[in-house]
Chain A
């Protein structure tokens, strides 16, 4: 791919990844969160494909396929299924309301530009302009975990964080060695499945997935 188009295309798709993550802070219903995550993963696959096409690395095509199957198809489907069984659909009264959350997301983006400045300065890759966006996705995912009440939303926030980290790896180093990548995938998948099991158990025991109700151990 022509390098002149590569950088703007990369920045554009990375911005879409960030915007899909921020959409989670804006919307109110859990199906919207899961679909936003699926969309974000899809944009991430586009980034990987762009990098793969420009650098010609065969490994990245495999990674793109794995991300697509896992994060665009399998995980959202599982999440929707759990959501339907558990019956949690609305995120009512998050700890931080929507306009404030969006303002914090803007602040986090500025912070990630500051933090990423040395990283951008060191990098000589054409993708370096998008590195702060990847960091912003990580921070936004962390903020979703911290500020939302439903256990399923917290899982989505964790998955958004993982997307951000993977995006950082792709943008900063054109991917990490394949064996580590596989291990990371497996870990994330297992962690996700374990979390789903726990959501079921929480629902059975507490009759709600509102983690604010899990407060007996507060001391």
Chain B
């Protein structure tokens, strides 16, 4: 029963936001409550999956949650709850400053809840086609979110986003059709021929050449949504122009949902032709993404764009990890959790920074630690976490990925990745230091920090990052092993 309730909650919140005509604060609180309930339910679901291995619902298991889905549901619910709770303050203050009006705010909560619903549907749908429909729906819901404020840059970003995203998704559909064709030709038409469980079961009977072509289309198509290079060009614009809570949800959750779709197809293709083909492609694409992110990050002018390129880097690392066998996949999944926690953390804080300093340029931000000690301190902590420093969990997952790289016999690539990560470390931290230290400019009002209650959910992020960094909790490790086992049986 958990699965349908999990999906219903954001729908209810969206319906409420759509129908409500009064003060948006009520809608905001409602969304915070439903997303919090959703997060708790995702934890319960994870527990259920640990006990039963697969949880299904509906005729022919229309909704299906195995280990992999459970991990993603965790990430998505966590990021959504934190973004909706912490972001509420930022948006409310934007409305008070007359940058947004009530209608905007209501639209924001309507679209965000629909966005959450479509993401959850993508990772729980058993049918390949329904998954595709849900991922396309995420593009549609987020397009308006990115363009929420009517500036020229926001419009440019949202146009690029929706065009490139739709084209990418269309290519993913070509891959889906080819996979379905392969199935029908080799196995024949059945009533649930597009279900994962069915496809994975008969994969050894399918034609390898066609599946390989299908996987290439799927990788390019869903890779566009995941921000893998060279299809990433929309990402820096979209993630930097969107309001901070939306950026955090997109970076933390949407990118990994797209990666999930690629991994699902990987299972089917690997069962047919072995994992060498997909592994090679994933390592190549992932390394390219990290390289592109490193090259472009060194000359960033805006801290939000810098965070966006950092997302490209981390998704690239996850992609490489997924191509490095069971250990690498485990690491990649742990990385998803850590990145979700860390990136949403930083994006939400960046929203506060922008409020205080009025600009997203790195050069405009000085003396953050003096002007806003809590925000600055947390931002520094988040940066260190994101750059893969101990005792945070991203350190553990990155080291695991590199170790998996050496073990799988790719020393050169792994060394190259380590070098790129170092480059990003140096420049990212350099820019952040410039923002943190020094004297704050005179125009920055010495306003009080955001109410501590608002920053409290961020403590959850930190807790997650720390906990999994010091020692991965046993249930989580079991869940990750289960999920990795789905991809590498």
Contacts and interface: CB of A to CB of B under 8 A. Distances in A.
A95 interface: no
Given A119-B210, A176-B129, A169 B177 contact: yes
A82 to B, nearest CB: 14
Interface in B72-99: none
Contacts of B193: 177
B170 A118 contact: no
B210 A118 contact: yes
B477 interface: no
Contacts of B143: 194, 198
Interface stretch (A30-38, A69-77, A184-192): A184-192
Interface in B192-245: 193-194, 207, 209-210, 213, 236-237, 241
A51 B408 CA distance: 49
Contacts of B173: 165, 184
A172 B178 contact: yes
Interface string A171-197: 011001101100110110011001100
Nearest to B209: A118
Contacts of B301: 219
A180 B166 contact: no
Contact of B170 (A151, A165, A177, A198): A165
A115 B130 CA distance: 26
Contact of B133 (A145, A187, A211, A217): A187
A198 B193 CA distance: 37
B464 interface: no
Contacts of A121: 209
A122 B133 contact: no
B181 A173 contact: yes
B291 to A, nearest CB: 17
Contacts of A206: 152, 155
A198 B177 contact: no
A198 B159 contact: yes
B117 to A, nearest CB: 15
A97 to B, nearest CB: 22
B213 A115 contact: yes
B467 interface: no
B181 A214 contact: no
Contacts of A138: 170-171, 174
B167 interface: yes
A158 interface: yes
A158 B130 contact: no
Contact of A177 (B129, B144, B156): B129
Interface string B138-155: 011001100100101101
A14 to B, nearest CB: 15
Interface string B104-135: 00000000000000000000000101101100
A63 interface: no
B158 A198 contact: yes
Interface string A82-125: 00000000000000000000000000000000010011011110
A179 B192 CA distance: 12
A123 B185 contact: yes
A186 B300 CA distance: 39
Nearest to A145: B167
A106 B127 CA distance: 36
Given A173-B181, A198-B158, A216 B163 contact: no
A216 B301 CA distance: 13
A118 B159 contact: no
B155 A180 contact: no
A27 interface: no
Contacts of A219: 236, 296, 299-301, 305
A102 B159 CA distance: 27
A191 B162 CA distance: 8
Given A194-B162, A202-B155, A211-B159, A176 B180 contact: yes
A211 B194 CA distance: 38
A216 B178 contact: no
B184 interface: yes
A142 B155 contact: no
Contact of B178 (A119, A142, A187, A191): A119
Given A115-B213, A176-B129, A158 B207 contact: no
B136 interface: yes
Nearest to B139: A191
B157 interface: yes
B133 A184 contact: yes
Contacts of A122: 181-182, 185-186, 207, 209-210
A172 B181 contact: yes
26 contacts: A122-B182, A122-B210, A138-B174, A142-B171, A158-B170, A162-B170, A165-B170, A165-B177, A168-B174, A169-B177, A173-B180, A176-B177, A180-B133, A180-B194, A183-B133, A187-B137, A191-B140, A194-B144, A194-B162, A195-B162, A198-B155, A205-B150, A206-B155, A214-B155, A217-B241, A219-B300
Given A122-B207, A177-B129, 10 more contacts: A154-B163, A165-B170, A168-B177, A176-B194, A186-B133, A205-B155, A211-B159, A214-B155, A217-B241, A219-B300
Closest 3 CB pairs of A and B: A180-B129, A118-B209, A183-B133
Interface of B: 127, 129-130, 132-133, 136-137, 139-140, 143-144, 147, 150, 152-153, 155-160, 162-163, 166-167, 170-171, 173-174, 177-178, 180-182, 184-186, 193-194, 207, 209-210, 213, 236-237, 241, 296, 299-301, 305
